[in-house]
């Protein structure tokens, strides 16, 4: 079976920076995200490096998504997530909790997001279970290489069960700067040979669940 590859370009607009792997600082943001398939991730990485990015980290991220008994979080196009991050270079493991609001436009995956570090990811998951929240299946696990250029972070993701992705992030002070930041993302898209119209608006979790349904049908 031919392996599918994707490129994910994300532009989070945050009130606090989060370009440190597994950062424990609290953060509120608007996350502008676009995704598209890519068949040659190594070529994409080479092109990104030619643009002046430098490698800064190699990590694994394990995401568990939760919903309430009525399924209202997902039904409202929102997301509640616990993420554990393992730094392969230092061996440290950190955790954080995120809440993502519904998409704010019909072109990208732009969302408001709240985030805070937690001491223990497993305890956080158990607290949510005890409070009546149910974990979504499957977990989303990926290896991530992080590269940095000025205020922009590029993340090369290998998502278990899906393939390869690229994520780009820029940190800005507020929503008023969203347009200018998105324009920078479009410049990168164009330099890689893509347009906003090439993108899809599907999360990794939804992709994995859709793949599972197709395999069972």
Q: Is 88 a catalytic residue?
A: no
Residue 190 tokens, joined: 């164009």
Residue 130 tokens, joined: 């005890």
* 182 CB-near residues (< 8 Å, 6+ apart): 11, 32, 108
Which backbone phi and psi does 98 adopt, to 5 degrees? -130, 145
**Secondary structure letter of residue 193 according to DSSP:** T
Question: Which candidate in 6, 65, 194, 204 is catalytic?
Answer: 65
Direct distance between the N- and C-terminal alpha carbons of the chain, in angstroms, rounded to an integer = 17
User: Which residue do the tokens 């223990």 mark?
Assistant: 120
Catalytic residue set: 65
């Amino acid at each position: 079976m031919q392996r599918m590859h994707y490129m994910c370009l994300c532009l989070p607009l945050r009130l606090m920076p989060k370009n440190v792997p597994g950062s424990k600082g609290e953060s509120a943001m608007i996350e502008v995200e676009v995704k598209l398939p890519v068949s040659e991730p190594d070529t994409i990485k080479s092109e990104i490096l030619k643009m002046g990015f430098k490698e800064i980290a190699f990590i694994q991220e394990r995401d568990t998504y939760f919903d309430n008994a009525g399924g209202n979080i997902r039904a409202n196009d929102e997301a509640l997530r616990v993420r554990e991050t393992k730094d392969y270079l230092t061996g440290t493991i950190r955790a954080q909790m995120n809440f993502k609001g519904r998409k704010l436009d019909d072109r990208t995956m732009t969302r408001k997001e709240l985030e805070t570090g937690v001491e223990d990811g497993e305890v956080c998951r158990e607290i949510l279970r005890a409070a009546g929240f149910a974990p979504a299946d499957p977990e989303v696990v990926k290896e991530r290489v992080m590269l940095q250029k000025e205020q922009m972070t590029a993340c090369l993701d290998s998502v278990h069960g899906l393939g390869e992705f690229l994520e780009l992030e820029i940190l800005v002070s507020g929503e008023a700067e969203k347009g200018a930041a998105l324009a920078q993302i479009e410049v990168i898209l164009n330099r890689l040979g893509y347009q906003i119209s090439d993108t899809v608006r599907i999360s990794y979790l939804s992709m994995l669940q859709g793949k599972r349904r197709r395999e069972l049908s």
